[in-house]
Amino acid sequence: MLAATCQWFHRLIMEESIWKFACLRDLQVPHPGNVGFKWFKLYATAFGTSLQMEVTLTCSISRRNILDLLIVGIDASIDSRTISLITVPYHITPQRDWMRIGAFFFDSPVAFLTENLIAPRKIPQEETLEKMLQLHGCCVLNNIKTGIWIAGTMQTLDARHIELFLNEGYKDGSWEYNLLGSQDIKKHTETASGGIFDIKHLKDPSNSDIFDLKKWVGKHSDWQPKAMITLHAAAVNTNLQENEGIHVKYHAMRAGDDGKVVSIRISQQLL
């Protein structure tokens, strides 16, 4: 009886519909359409988990109950029937995830990257990314892999496609970050900031809160990094003490030499 129950529960908990529901619910993003991996693996990589959970299986659990629980994660190598759940509110995540900002969605394959969180009146149209960065402190990046992206870390704005960590090219190290361009600001800079936007939604009302810095960056004496995420953008800001300027770098990782962009980094370093 117990063996049969475990087999039934294993089949039920591995249903794609359950993991898809949990992933989209907890990340608060729309359905991306076709995905390249199973949803339970996407959930695990999105929340930084490969956990074998430790809660007693009860035979009275129903499918409706399962959808109300937090499915924390399942190690991809598990082929046994020892699957269990942690019944805590779904907004509680493992402590090591504190640097994860959240998820946003690329609806179009074009990104707008900026080191100053000022709403642009028009998109720059320079010949090269390097020239855009030098003249405007922002650039346009094409061939973005659309779908769900995860933004993380505070000192460096680091964003990646949800499938990145599951790809063999990433795991074997053949996909690498390449420098898009850099800029030196050789004077006192009050903040180190960065933003990644889906250019199609740059002027969406939700993104106006990102450009309204008074709402979220904190007082000048607050040195703690702050972050904001919307459905189609992510941004970070850190107030700086007295300095002589910063060095800003933009990196991107592609899926192969000419593949789609699957990760973006904007970093600042004091001069």
pLDDT for position 254: 96
| Residue 106 and residue 216 in one domain | yes
- Distance in angstroms between the alpha carbons of the first and the last residue of the chain: 68
| Residue 51 and residue 130 in one domain | no
Residue 47 pLDDT level (bands cut at 50, 70, 90): confident
Q: Which two tokens stand for residue 108?
A: 């179009």
| Residue 28 and residue 104 in one domain | no
| Residue 88 and residue 196 in one domain | no
pTM of the model: 0.79
Given 35, 66, 94, the domain boundary residue is 94
Q: What is the mean pLDDT of residues 189-218?
A: 91
pLDDT tens digit sequence for 140-195: 999 999 999 999 876 789 999 999 999 999 999 999 999 999 988 889 989 899 99
| Residue 24 and residue 156 in one domain | no
Residue 72 pLDDT level (bands cut at 50, 70, 90): very low
| Residue 115 and residue 67 in one domain | no
Which residues, at least 6 apart from 218, have a Cβ–Cβ distance to it below 8 Å? 224, 226, 239
| Residue 22 and residue 72 in one domain | yes
| Residue 174 and residue 67 in one domain | no
pLDDT for position 14: 67
pLDDT for position 131: 81
Which residues, at least 6 apart from 224, have a Cβ–Cβ distance to it below 8 Å? 218, 238
| Residue 13 and residue 65 in one domain | yes
Distance from C-alpha of 117 to C-alpha of 202, rounded to nearest angstrom: 12
Given 94, 122, 137, the domain boundary residue is 94
Given 61, 94, 127, the domain boundary residue is 94
| Residue 132 and residue 261 in one domain | yes
pLDDT tens digit sequence for 79-138: 322 222 322 233 333 334 447 789 999 999 999 999 989 888 888 777 788 888 888 889
Q: What is the mean pLDDT of residues 205-228?
A: 88
| Residue 142 and residue 116 in one domain | yes
pLDDT for position 157: 92
pLDDT tens digit sequence for 231-266: 999 999 999 999 999 999 999 999 987 799 999 999
Contact 48, 25 (CB under 8 A): no
pLDDT for position 60: 38
40, pLDDT greater than 70: yes
Its domain, for residue 221, covers 100-270
Distance from C-alpha of 208 to C-alpha of 204, rounded to nearest angstrom: 7
Domains identified in the chain, total number: 2
Q: Mean pLDDT across the chain, nearest whole number? A: 78
Among residues of the chain, what percentage have pLDDT more than 70?
Answer: 75
